[in-house]
Structure formats: structure tokens, C-alpha cells
Amino acid sequence: MVSYKITVKTGDKKGAGTDANVYIILHGKGIQTNKYTLDTFFKNDFERGNIDNYSVDSEVNIPEVQRIELWRDAYGLFSNWYLDWIEVTNLATNITSIFPAMKWIKENQRYFFNHIDTCLPQDDPFKEMRMVELQNIQRDYQLQVKVPGLPAQVKELPDDERFSFDYQFNIGLKGKIYQEESQRLVMASGVEWKDVDDVKSVYTPVFGVPEGSKTFNDDASFGRQRLNGLNPSILNLCTKIPESFGVTEIMVKPFLEGKTMKQAMDDKRLFIIDMAILEGCPTVGENIMTTPFALFYFNDAKCLMPIAIQLFQKKGPSNPVFLPSDPEYTWMWAKMWYTLADSTYHQALTHLNFTHLMMEGISVAAKRNLAPSHPIMKLLNPHFIYLMAINTLALGTLINPGGAIDKTSSAGINGHFYIIKKSMAFWRLDVNGTLPEDLKSRGVFDQSVLTGAYHMRDDALLLYDAIRTYVKKYVMHYYSTESSLTADYELQKWGAELVKSRDEGGVGILGVPNNGKFVATDQLVLTLTAIIYTCSVGHAAANFQQYDEYGAPFNYPYYLSGSPPKDKSPVTIETVLRSISNRIQLLGLMTVTKVLSEKGTQSLGDFEKQLIVDPPAIKFVEEFRQNLREIAKTIDERNKKRKHPYDELHPSAIPNAISI
């Protein structure tokens, strides 16, 4: 007679607990135990979030349990059950076997979980069972283009992708607190602003003071936004002034510290942003969207300074080039109208499309084609947690007709969708989604360019290299030969679905190496690194400063009314004040961005789903975590020397996934 200790962890999702009867059979090599009922007298087993322990005795001695067979009935009022994991210990040999599940257990359906359960499909001894499981998953995970021209998403949110109860409750509670405070402030002070100080009155202790409100009409802060703000990936090294940009040598001479424009270009100190993609962007009502050029100079004090702004693409008398020497509020207003385009680009592309939407299609395709026991699925899964859930929530509350974006932005959802559709023609995983290549394409990869100022780049490269090193070790462990890569039919099907056009039911991702046919490990490493980086570091850079930026309407306007300036006549602060969001609009935007700016899940490397249980792979995870700890120390040291510390990409501030 031998005793087994069985430990069961029920998930934390809403409705995860069950009153059903749960049965288990333990399997070894060619042997198995009888059926056991997991039940403790006078105890409510399998409650949400609980860990339950059971002891069973058997005549069958399995020194190391290799596999478990599990099922439940439909007994009780609440029979649904979400299982996180099961551990089985043979108390005679003291060997523990781990069986990750992370899924809903459906009634009267038998589930088989293997110890460690990590193998390529061609090596799986239970190929037929694996195939059946994947077919069941594919019924739940279907791709659909919900908005014509936009990325593919999950057709209906599967139960396994829903928020945990606590996570969803916390999001709702925070939103309610901010909404109640907003209502109080509007009731107390009305809708329209009295003066600039009145705008600051909304920064109560409930909301806090956004960082962007601490400077006002400051050119150095405006330059830092382009490097280390929410949208740090659109600045390009300037090697030529576009024909349609009316800036001249005489205009900018006072701002180049004695250099000509050519000398500034040769010294790699002149930079440009071109917002031509916003041409034709629809807006809400009579609002106007700018399509600006902005020129910047990196000065001797290591500050990126704006030196010229043209608000529309076609140069002409009614579209002047605005300069820092223009009347104070005229220059300020020109910067605000530039920033309207910047914030619209940020929200539509840098944040929504290039992280949330692109990664959702990739994650759905992964789950459709890679079995849960596939090592690549185990590698990616922690970086997909809550992604489909948050996108589904956003489609119903933020980016729906009449939702938050329609109420708080100049472009509205139609404008955002218009820009997203345009971007689908150029966004590539191997360029825009691969940090070093993105930096090279913009001429800013070399750290001798923008030295000491481009903190986002400098910190992000450390993290990209750490992720790539981790991924490479992991991939090389499971694909020791190129033939094992090409023989992996699940991986090849995933690659094919990634590049298959959306019209044909695929994800339609451009720039997947070798068009999705993985024949070399470096192709797979690049793809996986880009995905993990985007889901963690890329999203963190684009997301967690939202309240600090959008909460300050003079600093980062998302809405402006009236018309942009057509000449250099002096502008009054009253004109500027009338153009920004009113109190209701601003508080609505503050509420949304405050919730979005609060990190709700665990930090990079500290995985919510501990699916990697293969001992060699666990070693790679530990090495990754150690590397992140060293990066944290490096960033801490850098921030001690920085005049304006940059904390957004400290590893402790980066979640594993796009979960908010």
C-alpha cells in the first residue's frame, strides 16, 4: 500500500469554483491506479482561488506519476470549474509531479495531463489525443476581422481568456471611484474653464497631479516628450528637408548654435517628424486634424529642442512655419496643434494597433495552432494573459461608437480606424516590431546619436537583448537541429496562419521571417523576441504614462476645438483655453487614462502562469530573471545621473503582458 498526496489549485476567475464531484486516476509507465473521488468531508472543496490537499492510498506503487486522468460531473448548482494546476507526490519515494492545467474543466469530459508535459508534436507519445485537444481549442479560438481593414481578432472571447474575478473587480472599482469624483467636480465648478488655474483644480487627491502639468509652454519638455514620452518611436534623423516643408535656413539659423542646417545634419543633430499619415483623417463634428511637420535640434546642452513646426503638409501663405521666436502663445498654440496629431497617432497606432490589436491576432493564431504542451506555447502564454479580455472590454467601452474615444478626442473612432487601416500597409514585424531594426530605420540606433537624452532607447535595448538571449536559449534547447524545426508541423501551421491574408482567414502580419516558413532557428528567435518584447516592454513604453501626459491638456491635447492658426498673429491665453477639452471631456479622459496607467499584473519574468516546468527551461527562466535584476541596477544607476529620470522601463514597472 502506498499513499499519494494530491494538491489541487482552483483558479481565481469569476465562477471558477465548483460543487461538482471530481475524479482522478494516476498513471505510470504501463500501470494506473483505480478511480478516486477528490473530496473532504464537511468541507466545501474547490472554492475560487483555494488550494485543496487530498491523500489517497493505492495498491499500485507508481514511483513517479507520469500522467493524470481527470474529470468532473455536473452535480450541484455551480458545477463550472477552472483548474490552475495539480501536484501529485508519492509519499514513499517523495517524488512530486507537476501538472499545469490553466483551463476550464467541462462536465463529463476526460482530461489527460502529462508530467512536465512539454514536447514537440512529432515527439508526443499521445499524438492523437493532442490533435483532438487542439481541434477542441480551435472551435473556441476563431479569427475574425471585426472592423473592415483592421487586424484580425478573436471572434468570441473564450472562457479561458476571461479576467480573474479580483482583476476585473479592481478595474471596475477604480473606474467607479474616478467617475464619482468627476461628477462631484463638474457639479461644483461647471463645465467651462474660468482660467488656467481652474484647469489645475481637477487634480484632486483622488486623481493626483499628472507630471505633464508641472511644466507649461516649455520647449525642452516638448523635446523630451518626443524621446521619452508615450510616442518615442516616430522621431527620425533628418538628412533632407522634404519638398512640402517650407522651413528655410534663414528661419532656423538663430536656433542652431552657429551651425547651418547641413552642418547640423552632418553632425546628426537635426531630427524630423512627418505626420503625413494623418492626411484625410476624419474627425468628430467640425473638429480639424493637423498633418504636421516638426523639426528638432539636439543642442550642446543635450536637449532636443523644437525649432520649426508646419501644421499641414502643403506649404503656402496660410500654412506658415512656426518658430520659437514667434509670439509666446502663438508658438505654444502651434505646438499644441502639432501635439494633437501626435496624441492621435499615439493612441491609434503606437498604443492600440501596434500593441493591442496586432498582438491579439498573433496570440489567437498561436493558441489555434500550438497545443498547450508545445514548448513555444508555454513560452508565449505568460505574455498573452488577459490580452483578449482587455481588447474585448475596450471594444465595448472605449473604441465603440459613442464610447470614450468619441467623447474625448478630436478624431473619434472613425479617425482612429482610418489611421489604423493605413498603417496595415507598412507595419512589419521584422522592422517596426523589432527594436534594433526600428531604430536603424529611423537613423537613431547608434548611441552616439542623441547621447544622454534618448533614455527610452537606451533602456529598451538592454531589455530587448535580455529577451532575445532568453528566447534563443529556449529555442535552441527544443530545436537542437534544423530538421526538428521543419518537422514541427504545429509551428509551421502557426507561421502560415500568421502571414495568411485576413481576407482568407489569417492574421495578415507582414515581415514574418521567410514568410512564416521557419527553416532556421534565428528566424524563430526574431519572431518570438519581437512578440514578447511588444507584449511587455513595447506596451509599457506606450501605456503607463498616459495619465501623466493626457491628463494635462496644455501638454498633450487629445482634443482641440476651433481652427489652427493660419498666420503668426499674437494669440491670447484665453483663445488657447477655449480650444482645449472642457471639464467633462477632460475628466472623462483622466478617468480612462488613470485606470489604464495603473499596473495590475506581475512584473516581467514573474509569470502569472507558471507553465514552464521542464527543468532545463526553468534554468533559462531563472537566468532571464537574473539578467532583469542586473538591468534594474543599471537603470537605477543611470537614473541617479539623469536630470530627468526615466522609470517607465525599469523591469519592475513592466508587466508580462498587455493586460490593461
Domains of the chain: 2-115 (2.60.60.20), 146-660 (1.20.245.10)
Predicted pLDDT of residue 128: 86
Q: HSE on the CB side for 151, CA within 13 Å? A: 30
Bridging pattern class, strands 143-144 and 321-322: unpaired
> What is the grid cell recorded at 562?
476651433
Q: Is the dihedral of CA 56, 21, 139, 145 positive or negative?
A: negative
CA 451 vs CA 297, 457, 642: distances in Å: 13, 10, 12
Predicted pLDDT of residue 170: 73
Q: How confident is the model at residue 610 (pLDDT cuts 50, 70, 90)?
A: confident
Q: What is the mean pLDDT of residues 65-73?
A: 92
Closest by Cα among 314, 320, 277, 274 to 296? 274
Predicted pLDDT of residue 42: 61
Predicted pLDDT of residue 132: 87
Which residues fall within 8 angstroms of residue 195, CB to CB, at 6 or more apart?
Answer: 577
518, 626 Cβ separation under 8 angstroms? no
Predicted pLDDT of residue 475: 98
Q: How confident is the model at residue 575 (pLDDT cuts 50, 70, 90)?
A: very high
pLDDT digits (tens, 9 = 90+) for 421-432: 999 999 999 999
Q: Which amino acid is at 37?
A: T
Model confidence at 346: pLDDT above 90 = yes
CA 152 – CA 362 distance, rounded (Å):
9
CA 385 – CA 367 distance, rounded (Å):
12
Say if residue 401 is exposed, middle or buried (CB neighbours under 10 Å; 0-12, 13-18, 19+): exposed
Predicted pLDDT of residue 169: 61
Predicted pLDDT of residue 166: 65
387, 178 Cβ separation under 8 angstroms? no
Collapse the DSSP code of 339 into the 3-class scheme (helix H, G, I; strand E, B; otherwise coil) and give the result: helix
Closest by Cα among 106, 117, 150, 112 to 129? 112
415, 409 Cβ separation under 8 angstroms? yes
Q: Give the number of residues written for the chain.
A: 660
- Concatenating the DSSP letter of every residue in 6-36 gives EEEEE--BTT----S-EEEEEE-SS-B---E
Which residues fall within 8 angstroms of residue 194, CB to CB, at 6 or more apart?
Answer: none
Give Dmax over CA atoms of the chain in angstroms.
94
Share of the chain above pLDDT 70, in %: 99
> What is the grid cell recorded at 77?
448548482
Q: Is the dihedral of CA 111, 117, 120, 122 positive or negative?
A: negative
295, 307 Cβ separation under 8 angstroms? yes
Q: What is the mean pLDDT of residues 446-459?
A: 97
CA 586 – CA 428 distance, rounded (Å):
34
Q: What is the mean pLDDT of residues 562-572?
A: 96
Q: How confident is the model at residue 390 (pLDDT cuts 50, 70, 90)?
A: very high
CA 521 – CA 214 distance, rounded (Å):
48
38, 22 Cβ separation under 8 angstroms? yes
391, 146 Cβ separation under 8 angstroms? no
Taking all residues of the chain, what is their mean pLDDT, rounded to a whole number?
94
Q: Which residue has the cell 508526443?
A: 124
CA 337 – CA 60 distance, rounded (Å):
76
Predicted pLDDT of residue 41: 66
Predicted pLDDT of residue 198: 96
Collapse the DSSP code of 173 into the 3-class scheme (helix H, G, I; strand E, B; otherwise coil) and give the result: helix
Q: Residue 72 — φ and ψ, nearest 5°?
A: -140, 160
Q: How confident is the model at residue 546 (pLDDT cuts 50, 70, 90)?
A: very high
Q: How confident is the model at residue 18 (pLDDT cuts 50, 70, 90)?
A: confident
Model confidence at 116: pLDDT above 90 = no
pLDDT digits (tens, 9 = 90+) for 218-257: 999 999 999 999 999 999 999 999 999 999 999 999 999 9
Q: How confident is the model at residue 471 (pLDDT cuts 50, 70, 90)?
A: very high
Q: Which amino acid is at 25?
A: I
Predicted pLDDT of residue 165: 63
Q: What is the mean pLDDT of residues 55-68?
A: 93
